[in-house]
Amino acid sequence: MLYFITSNNNKFEEARAILQMEMEQLDIDLPELQDIDAHNVIKAKLNEAMRHHEGEFIVDDVSLVFDALKGELPGPFIKWFLQSLGAEGIYDFVSKLGDTRATAKLIVGYADGKDNIHFFEGAVEGNIVKPAGERFGWDPIFLPKGYNKTYAQMPQDEKNKMSHRHLALTKLKEFLQTK
């Protein structure tokens, strides 16, 4: 059995829609490792899941990185920046740094049940802008390159076709279909 580890039902349904495979949501609370590299965060979660369960597992982690912070930060720590500063606060912060370019990344890890972990990355370049549109998280301040709408201003199905999440899950799908 293939398990997608998340407590978020929407994430699970979106993943199932893209992957079009039989899979189950596994809502277990795995500690989040403190590491600037999302691959290590994911690897720790998959190893922990494999200690307790049989099967194949998928775990993902979102990173948002700013060109003004060497394209490395805040990385996986973006969730804490969002919690502390809010979306508008992040916009103010990045504006002051004088370079609003940013890249949104989803890293997906897949544990194949035979001790191998495979990673797939979806990345979308863009800019951090003044909040526009209503949606959770940093969607209102992320303007993807080549678009005139923030993530939050796009209808969900339009975003789902081009997002960093979509790109990463599509790569995973191709891998699972050909293995």
> Is residue 50 near its own copies by the rule CB under 8 A?
no
On whether the CB atoms of residues 38 and 76 are closer than 8 A, the answer is yes
DSSP 130-176: S--S--STTGGGEEETT-SS-GGGS-HHHHHTTSHHHHHHHHHHHHH
- Taking the least distance from each CB to its own copies, the nearer of 51 and 70 is 70
On whether the CB atoms of residues 148 and 154 are closer than 8 A, the answer is no
How far apart are CB 118 and its own copies at their closest, in Å?
22
Stretch that binds its own copies, among 22-30, 85-93, 104-112, 145-153 (CB under 8 A): 85-93
> Is residue 117 near its own copies by the rule CB under 8 A?
no
- Is there a cis peptide before residue 31, judged by omega within 30 degrees of 0? no
Instruction: Look at the chain and count its residues.
Output: 179
Stretch that binds its own copies, among 11-19, 22-30, 73-81, 104-112 (CB under 8 A): 73-81
> Is residue 67 near its own copies by the rule CB under 8 A?
no
CB atoms < 10 A from the CB of 142, how many? 25
> Is residue 140 near its own copies by the rule CB under 8 A?
no
> Is residue 41 near its own copies by the rule CB under 8 A?
yes
Distance CA 109, CA 122 (A): 12
Distance CA 133, CA 69 (A): 26
> Is residue 146 near its own copies by the rule CB under 8 A?
no
> Is residue 77 near its own copies by the rule CB under 8 A?
yes
- Taking the least distance from each CB to its own copies, the nearer of 37 and 112 is 37
> Is residue 97 near its own copies by the rule CB under 8 A?
yes
Distance CA 132, CA 44 (A): 36
Stretch that binds its own copies, among 8-16, 26-34, 139-147, 169-177 (CB under 8 A): 26-34
- Residues of this chain that bind its own copies (CB under 8 A): 31-36, 41, 44, 68-70, 72-77, 80-81, 83-85, 89, 93, 96-98
